Amino acid sequence: MNIPLSAPDISEADIAAVGSVLRSSRLSLGPELEAFEHALANYVGASHAVAVNSGTSALHLSLRARGIGEGDEVILPSFAFIAVANAVRYVNAVPVFVDIDPFTLNLDPGAIESAITSHTRAILVVHTFGVPAAMDSILEIARRYRLLVIEDACEALGAEIAGRKVGTFGDASVFGFYPNKQITTGEGGALLTSNPGLAALAKTLRNQGRGKNDDWLQHTEVGYNFRISELNCALGISQLQRIEEILRTRENVAREYDKKLKGNPLLEPPPLELPQGKISWFVYVVRLAEKFSGAPRDALLAQMKTRGIECGRYFAPIHLQPAYTSEPHRRMNLKITESIAPRTLALPFFNRLTNAQVHTVCETLAELLEQLA
């Protein structure tokens, strides 16, 4: 690809940080882990952080550590990465898919109550594409029905609601650090919470069920190998030190796209700003006009690829995935999800994307849209 969909931003300082760990004698469960957890919790504004090997593992732990299991129902969007639903299935609970808000593409608070039953235990809120969800409304519903709230902020590090960072509103939150995220640890994730008991249990579960005072062959819980290496954590610490610069850079790329695409009647750019909210730009996703239905988006994606420009179909609804055709789940009316999802197209988006590359993407997109129209 001449212009990839995403690319990590690795600095010389990042390389040096990882190199220093390789010269040490500690590659796992060492000082870099503790330092990364402290830095992450401090940045987000949570009391505790538990770093693990992926955002998916963090989701799994957030459900397991809160006792969600067999027969419990968890409300979540279908317009999201499949890991949110998979984590619910890992604990033998039932995903209940509800519709999204057509503006933010996040869970629609107005669609939640009709999905609640006597089996509902939690609401899993995804801050989709780094856009903060309507947490005030969701938390009010959760309080009335005594439900847990878990924030999937894997795409939203640094996003805010009225000056407060996402990841601090629910009972627990999770973040991911895959190479396409705002910062990367290569592979990695974290569970954040202000509940010390939840944090302690999550740390036990991530390390084969070993309690704080257990020796290596003592196992208090049936746990998992969700450990993250010192190498990953050193990279995370280094990347986190320039998080504000990264967020500004990504916002500038989004603004450049908006300037080039705004006014094109054949597509709708994402919102640049939200009332009382700050977007943390994870991806840049446009919607094709409603006149395009069926296969045009996928044809457009293929044609962009032939021009050397990689795009993505963010997101394919989970309830329509082959893996979920026979899986036990419930679904509510998903009219908005099923209308918008086939028209979404993620354009190349990463820190070092140049204005010239943005111009190339936009010119090519406009040309191909005209052909499809």
pLDDT tens sequence across 7-40: 999 999 999 999 999 999 899 999 999 999 999 9
Q: Which of 181, 203, 260, 278 is catalytic?
A: 181
Q: How far apart are CA 29 and CA 56, in angstroms?
A: 20
- Could you give the residue range(s) of every CATH 3.90.1150.10 domain in the chain? 243-372
**Taking residues 291-298, what's their average pLDDT?**
80
In this predicted structure, the answer to whether residue 295 has a pLDDT above a threshold of 80 is no
Lowest average pLDDT, out of 194-208, 232-246, 290-304, goes to 290-304
Supply the pLDDT for residue 352: 95
State the virtual CA torsion across 319, 324, 329, 333 in degrees, nearest 10. 20
Supply the pLDDT for residue 373: 80
Question: Which one-letter amino acid corresponds to residue 180?
Answer: N
Tell me if 159 sits within 8 A of 282, measured CB to CB. Answer: no
Paired sense of beta strands 189-193 and 48-52, if any: antiparallel
181 assigned to active site: yes
Supply the pLDDT for residue 58: 98
- At 326, the pLDDT band (50, 70, 90 cuts) reads confident
Lowest average pLDDT, out of 2-16, 42-56, 314-328, goes to 314-328
Q: At what angle do helices 296-306 and 355-372 cross, to 10 degrees?
A: 130
**Taking residues 357-367, what's their average pLDDT?**
97
In this predicted structure, the answer to whether residue 80 has a pLDDT above a threshold of 70 is yes
In this predicted structure, the answer to whether residue 81 has a pLDDT above a threshold of 70 is yes
Q: How far apart are CA 154 and CA 301, in angstroms?
A: 25
Supply the pLDDT for residue 313: 93
Question: Which one-letter amino acid corresponds to residue 289?
Answer: A
Q: How far apart are CA 257 and CA 266, in angstroms?
A: 15
Sheet holding 277-278, edge to edge: 164-165, 160-161, 277-278
**Taking residues 288-313, what's their average pLDDT?**
90
Specify the 3-state DSSP secondary structure of 72.
coil
In this predicted structure, the answer to whether residue 293 has a pLDDT above a threshold of 80 is no
- Interior/surface letters 42-67, b for 16+ CB within 10 angstroms, e for the rest: ebbebebbbbbbbbbbbbbbbbbbbe
- At 173, the pLDDT band (50, 70, 90 cuts) reads very high
Question: Topology of 12-240 in CATH?
Answer: Aspartate Aminotransferase; domain 2 (3.40.640)
pLDDT cut 90: percent of the chain above it? 95
Q: How far apart are CA 364 and CA 123, in angstroms?
A: 40
- At 84, the pLDDT band (50, 70, 90 cuts) reads very high
- Could you give the residue range(s) of every CATH 3.40.640.10 domain in the chain? 12-240
Tell me if 192 sits within 8 A of 167, measured CB to CB. Answer: yes
Q: At what angle do helices 355-372 and 243-261 cross, to 10 degrees?
A: 40
How distant, in Å, are the alpha carbons of 43, 89, 351 from that of 17? 19, 37, 20
Which tens digit of pLDDT belongs to each residue from 254-263?
999 999 999 9
Lowest average pLDDT, out of 122-131, 147-156, 364-373, goes to 364-373
Task: State the average pLDDT for the chain.
Answer: 96
CATH 3.90.1150.10 fits 243-372, yes or no: yes
Supply the pLDDT for residue 160: 98
> Would you state the structure tokens that stand for residue 87, as one six-digit string?
């984590």
Choose among 89, 59, 68, 5: nearest CA to 319: 89
The pTM (predicted TM-score) of the whole model is: 0.96
Question: Which one-letter amino acid corresponds to residue 157?
Answer: L
Lowest average pLDDT, out of 162-171, 294-303, 353-362, goes to 294-303
Question: Which one-letter amino acid corresponds to residue 94?
Answer: V
